[in-house]
Amino acid sequence: MDPGGSRGPASAGIPVIVADVAWRRFVPRAEHVATRAARAAGAAGSVVLADDRTVKRLNARHRGRNKPTNVLTYEGLAPGPNGDSMGGEVILALGVVRREAAAAGRRTAHHLAHLVVHGALHLRGHDHHQAGEARRMEMAEARILHRLRVPNPWKRA
């Protein structure tokens, strides 16, 4: 991560690390948005607001894909009492998140919240490789986002 990054509020044990300060320019109160979304999704761990270059490097190293992606998750080491991960990291790429939000006609803050929830659900063991899994994960995301008053990203406008 960028050594010049800063930490946001560690509310409910969820630190938000702003590795790219440009997040603050494009998403007012980015740390607050990320913390609320992570907490609502039951995340334990940290959220890193990074740039595309950082996420591209991590994606190439750990997934063999030499391009940035919107969100990466890294599970913690110890399982929790329900078999869930005890933590991990949710890492987001600002440029990708902004481009995807613009293409979908959504606010960047809403897309950020959605992707933090998505990453947090991955850390809790959810996946979307099979159609049934994907539908269950989408429904869980929609329920959590509704509680946050974020529009359902799966409904057409």
Show the domains of the chain with their CATH numbers: 6-147 (3.40.390.30)
pTM: 0.85
pLDDT in tens, 50-98: 999 999 999 999 999 999 999 999 987 555 555 554 579 999 999 999 9
pLDDT in tens, 95-130: 999 999 999 999 999 999 999 999 999 988 888 877
Distance CA 69, CA 56 (A): 7
Distance CA 117, CA 104 (A): 18
CB-based contact 88:131 (threshold 8 Å): no
Assign 10 to helix, strand or coil: coil
Burial of 25 (0-12, 13-18, 19+ CB in 10 A): exposed
